[in-house]
Amino acid sequence: MRRQLMERLGAVRRGARRTPVQAAALAAVAAVTLAACSGTGNAASGHAAATATTDPVSITVKPDASGTPASPGSKVTVRANGGKLSEVNVSAADTDAFAGALSTDKRTWTSSALLAPATRYTVLARGEGSDGKPVTKKSTITTAAARDTFVGEYSPDKGTTVGVGMPVSITFNKPIRDKAAVERGLTVTSTPAVEGAWNWMKDRDGKDRIDYRPKAYWKPGTKVTLGMSLSGVDAGGGVYGTQQRLAHFQIGKAVVSTADVNKKTMTVTENGKVIKTLPVSTGKTGFETWNGTMVVLSKVPKIHMDSKTVGIFGPEAYDLGEVDWDVQLTPSGTYAHAAPWNEGKFGRVNGSHGCIGMSTADAKWWYEHVRLGDPVTVVGSKDTVATNNGYGDWNVDWATWKAGSALS
């Protein structure tokens, strides 16, 4: 038997023709041999690697679109499950910016802005899963109405160029009981940076108002941005803000005018250099021009001047008709303008009812050289102009000004 087996094996080595059965047997032996030579578990591990899957990223937004409307004053939270966020944008009609920030691990975005009442927001979030595949989530948030709302009317306007004395001023249409909460929603940034502060006051019509000014006049060329993140801010008693605003403006040349009531002149400087000294006539006894610094509020080439509009009646009443080259300095009625009826008094006699009068030619020249926000300082007169009578902000010393902040 052994001999027969050896002969058969010999025949195989000599290249004898194999039968199908023999070939199958050899294949089976080879398969067993390869399996035996492999390390334990490698075959199973290779199979697992081939069939593994990566879970896709999912993005969730809170508050979500289902159920009852979200409460005003809520924050927006966006989370990536199984991946990371790359961008989140929250938008609504009449909204400039809705700020927020990603967490360090980029898995969560939380808004710093608050949701305004009775508003529909669109949330667009982008991210990617651990497999690198991008994902986008679009959602909506609708908020409930509030008992009442407030807005602030701000100055200067977006995109304007203003003078070095221009403060940022916001007047509110509703009483502000929680001034600290509202002030926290306001920012002023500038390039170059300046030291500045907010100060609360009552406007002349009794409305709450807050102004921001730097410690000293702005430098020419400064770029300034007012940020109003007041949406969802409770000003007290459930009166919520609705505004998200970014207002950019810049500072023009340093045009500063100084009117001396004793010398009866107005000296005009531009970037620190005297460019002209004008003879003027200021307020007469009993109608003295306000002392201190005022700021140009507006300019019109013609205006009808009637004393009844500023409360002057009786023997001192006047109606001057159309007056040329009018630069407004206070809401109470102080202007610098052409006063040809006072010809002969300029540089000699103070004969107005509180305005700064000058010749038509000089008034036109000055009108063309000043802009909104240019400071005009009157020296040698009486009764310093009130802080809320236009922009009398510069008549308050710096320590007192800073103390007027609700956050000081």
- Position 373: which residue type? G
Q: Which member of 37, 47, 304, 355 is catalytic?
A: 355
- Position 252: which residue type? G
Please state, in angstroms and rounded to a whole number, the distance separating the CA atoms of residues 271 and 265.
19
Active site residue 47: no
Q: Which residue has the tokens 């008034």?
A: 363
| Residue 291, H or E segment | strand 290-295
Asked if residues 345 and 280 have their Cβ atoms less than 8 Å apart, the reply is no
Please state, in angstroms and rounded to a whole number, the distance separating the CA atoms of residues 77 and 194.
34
Please state, in angstroms and rounded to a whole number, the distance separating the CA atoms of residues 273 and 275.
6
Asked if residues 166 and 258 have their Cβ atoms less than 8 Å apart, the reply is no
Q: Which member of 47, 337, 353, 369 is catalytic?
A: 337
Assigned token pair, 406? 């609700």
- Sign for the pseudo-dihedral over CA of 379, 383, 386, 389: negative
Active site residue 355: yes
Asked if residues 325 and 364 have their Cβ atoms less than 8 Å apart, the reply is yes
Please state, in angstroms and rounded to a whole number, the distance separating the CA atoms of residues 266 and 356.
9
Please state, in angstroms and rounded to a whole number, the distance separating the CA atoms of residues 99 and 88.
10
What order of strands is seen across the sheet that includes strand 290-295? Answer: 273-279, 265-270, 255-260, 375-379, 290-295, 382-384
Please state, in angstroms and rounded to a whole number, the distance separating the CA atoms of residues 226 and 190.
9
Any idea which residues carry the catalytic annotation?
A: 337, 355
